[in-house]
Protein backbone atom coordinates (compact mmCIF):
# COMPACT_ATOMS: atom_id res chain seq x y z
CA UNK A 1 0.00 0.00 0.00
CA UNK A 2 1.23 3.48 -0.68
CA UNK A 3 1.78 6.06 2.02
CA UNK A 4 -1.80 7.34 1.86
CA UNK A 5 -3.92 6.35 4.84
CA UNK A 6 -6.89 4.46 3.42
CA UNK A 7 -10.24 4.88 5.10
CA UNK A 8 -11.64 1.86 3.28
CA UNK A 9 -10.73 -1.77 3.43
CA UNK A 10 -12.02 -4.74 1.51
CA UNK A 11 -15.01 -6.20 3.32
CA UNK A 12 -16.80 -9.38 2.31
CA UNK A 13 -15.29 -11.91 -0.06
CA UNK A 14 -13.26 -10.97 -3.12
CA UNK A 15 -11.35 -13.34 -5.42
CA UNK A 16 -9.07 -11.96 -8.16
CA UNK A 17 -6.93 -14.23 -10.32
CA UNK A 18 -5.42 -14.62 -13.78
CA UNK A 19 -6.23 -17.56 -16.05
CA UNK A 20 -4.37 -18.53 -19.20
CA UNK A 21 -6.52 -19.67 -22.12
CA UNK A 22 -5.76 -21.48 -25.35
CA UNK A 23 -7.91 -22.25 -28.33
CA UNK A 24 -7.23 -23.98 -31.63
CA UNK A 25 -9.00 -22.16 -34.45
CA UNK A 26 -8.55 -23.89 -37.80
CA UNK A 27 -5.12 -25.21 -36.85
CA UNK A 28 -3.88 -21.91 -35.47
CA UNK A 29 -3.23 -21.92 -31.73
CA UNK A 30 -4.28 -18.75 -29.98
CA UNK A 31 -3.49 -17.96 -26.35
CA UNK A 32 -4.52 -15.12 -24.05
CA UNK A 33 -4.83 -14.22 -20.40
CA UNK A 34 -7.90 -13.05 -18.54
CA UNK A 35 -8.20 -11.38 -15.16
CA UNK A 36 -11.23 -12.68 -13.27
CA UNK A 37 -12.72 -10.59 -10.48
CA UNK A 38 -15.43 -12.32 -8.47
CA UNK A 39 -16.95 -11.40 -5.15
CA UNK A 40 -20.01 -11.43 -3.02
CA UNK A 41 -22.05 -8.20 -3.09
CA UNK A 42 -20.22 -6.77 -0.07
CA UNK A 43 -16.79 -7.63 -1.52
CA UNK A 44 -17.56 -6.16 -4.94
CA UNK A 45 -18.99 -2.96 -3.45
CA UNK A 46 -16.01 -2.44 -1.15
CA UNK A 47 -13.64 -3.04 -4.10
CA UNK A 48 -15.60 -0.47 -6.13
CA UNK A 49 -15.35 2.01 -3.25
CA UNK A 50 -11.59 1.45 -3.05
CA UNK A 51 -11.27 2.18 -6.78
CA UNK A 52 -13.26 5.38 -6.33
CA UNK A 53 -11.10 6.42 -3.38
CA UNK A 54 -7.91 5.90 -5.42
CA UNK A 55 -9.41 7.82 -8.36
CA UNK A 56 -10.43 10.70 -6.10
CA UNK A 57 -7.05 11.00 -4.36
CA UNK A 58 -5.50 14.38 -5.08
CA UNK A 59 -1.92 13.22 -5.69
CA UNK A 60 -0.71 16.81 -6.14
CA UNK A 61 -1.29 17.81 -2.51
CA UNK A 62 0.36 14.73 -0.99
CA UNK A 63 3.73 15.47 0.59
CA UNK A 64 6.80 13.99 -1.09
CA UNK A 65 7.43 11.69 1.89
CA UNK A 66 3.97 10.17 1.30
CA UNK A 67 4.05 10.16 -2.53
CA UNK A 68 7.22 11.42 -4.26
CA UNK A 69 6.94 13.42 -7.49
CA UNK A 70 6.68 11.09 -10.48
CA UNK A 71 5.13 8.25 -8.45
CA UNK A 72 1.55 6.99 -8.73
CA UNK A 73 -1.00 6.33 -6.01
CA UNK A 74 -1.58 2.58 -5.65
CA UNK A 75 -2.77 -0.11 -3.27
CA UNK A 76 -1.46 -3.67 -3.02
CA UNK A 77 -4.11 -6.31 -2.31
CA UNK A 78 -2.71 -9.53 -0.87
CA UNK A 79 -4.14 -13.05 -0.78
CA UNK A 80 -5.30 -14.05 2.69
CA UNK A 81 -5.57 -10.43 3.79
CA UNK A 82 -7.58 -8.13 1.51
CA UNK A 83 -8.34 -10.96 -0.94
CA UNK A 84 -9.28 -14.62 -0.70
CA UNK A 85 -6.45 -17.09 -0.15
CA UNK A 86 -7.05 -18.37 -3.70
CA UNK A 87 -6.39 -14.94 -5.26
CA UNK A 88 -3.30 -13.63 -7.00
CA UNK A 89 -1.62 -10.55 -5.54
CA UNK A 90 -3.04 -7.42 -7.18
CA UNK A 91 -1.84 -3.83 -7.39
CA UNK A 92 -4.52 -1.27 -8.23
CA UNK A 93 -3.25 2.18 -9.07
CA UNK A 94 -3.36 5.39 -11.01
CA UNK A 95 -1.89 5.77 -14.49
CA UNK A 96 -1.01 9.44 -14.01
CA UNK A 97 2.14 10.32 -12.07
CA UNK A 98 2.22 13.02 -9.41
CA UNK A 99 3.24 16.44 -10.82
CA UNK A 100 4.32 15.06 -14.22
CA UNK A 101 0.92 13.56 -15.03
CA UNK A 102 2.73 11.15 -17.33
CA UNK A 103 1.63 7.57 -17.82
CA UNK A 104 4.18 4.77 -17.61
CA UNK A 105 5.97 3.80 -20.81
CA UNK A 106 4.33 0.41 -21.46
CA UNK A 107 0.82 1.92 -21.59
CA UNK A 108 -0.88 1.79 -25.00
CA UNK A 109 -4.18 3.65 -25.30
CA UNK A 110 -7.27 1.79 -26.55
pLDDT tens-place values along the chain, 110 residues long: 455 666 678 999 999 999 999 999 888 999 999 999 999 999 999 999 999 999 999 999 999 999 999 999 999 999 999 999 999 999 999 999 999 999 999 999 99
pLDDT for the residue numbered 6: 65
pLDDT of residue 107: 96
Instruction: Please tell me the pTM assigned to this model.
Output: 0.86
Q: What pLDDT is attached to residue 4?
A: 65
Q: What is the pLDDT of residue 25?
A: 86
Q: Are the beta carbons of 69 and 98 closer than 8 angstroms? A: yes
Contact 12, 48 (CB under 8 A): no
Q: So what's the pLDDT on residue 92? A: 97
Residue 1 pLDDT? 45
Amino acid sequence: MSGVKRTLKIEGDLDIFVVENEDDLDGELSSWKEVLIHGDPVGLKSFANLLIEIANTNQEILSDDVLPNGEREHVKLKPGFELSKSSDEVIVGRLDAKKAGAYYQRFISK
